[in-house]
Amino acid sequence: MKNWQILLWRAAGGGAAILAMYFLAGFGEMPVMLVPFATSIVLVLGSPEAEPAQPRALVGGHLLSAAVGIAIAALTGPSPWAGAVAVGLAIAAMHATKTFHPPAGIDPLIIVNEHLTWTYLFIPVAAGAVLLACFAFLWHNAQRKRVWPRQWW
């Protein structure tokens, strides 16, 4: 495919994924602003070659960052300091585990600010990250043979 066709295909995929996110958030009766995937969609659909856009980083980064946020929220409750500490620890944890996914940095901030519990780790975080990886796999590979991901884990 030509560069402009690839760009349009990726942009259409990003739009379709955002629309699906809106639909699923409404279906699950969750405010869309608590669903932390808009920037992940932009990264994974817009720059699929990037290391942070690979499934290990996408899924692992969101799960790890959310777990850090939940732990800090449980220990401290909501506060600006707790949110800042949670984001910093999430960055360190993602780097240490080679799951660095910058969009996942919003997870601990949302979790601490809203004082969310472990259920948030499963819905929307785990489910959303896995669904986005599946969507990206289908979308990126619909036009060409096996272009995403470079590796699954």
Per the structure, the count of domains in the chain is 1
Question: In 3D, which of 90, 82, 75 has the Cα closest to residue 112?
Answer: 82
89 assigned to some structural domain? yes
- In tens, the pLDDT along 47-106 reads 999 999 999 999 999 999 999 999 999 999 999 999 999 999 999 999 999 999 999 999
147 assigned to some structural domain? no
149 assigned to some structural domain? no
Give the 3-state DSSP-derived string for 100-146, with helices as H, strands as E and coil as C.
CCHHHHHHHHHHHHHCCCCHHHHHHHHHHHHHHHHHHHHHHHCCCCC
Domain extent for 12: 3-141
Flag whether pLDDT at 144 surpasses 80: no
What is the pLDDT, as a whole number, of residue 143?
Answer: 79
Q: What is the pTM of this model?
A: 0.94
What is the pLDDT, as a whole number, of residue 153?
Answer: 86
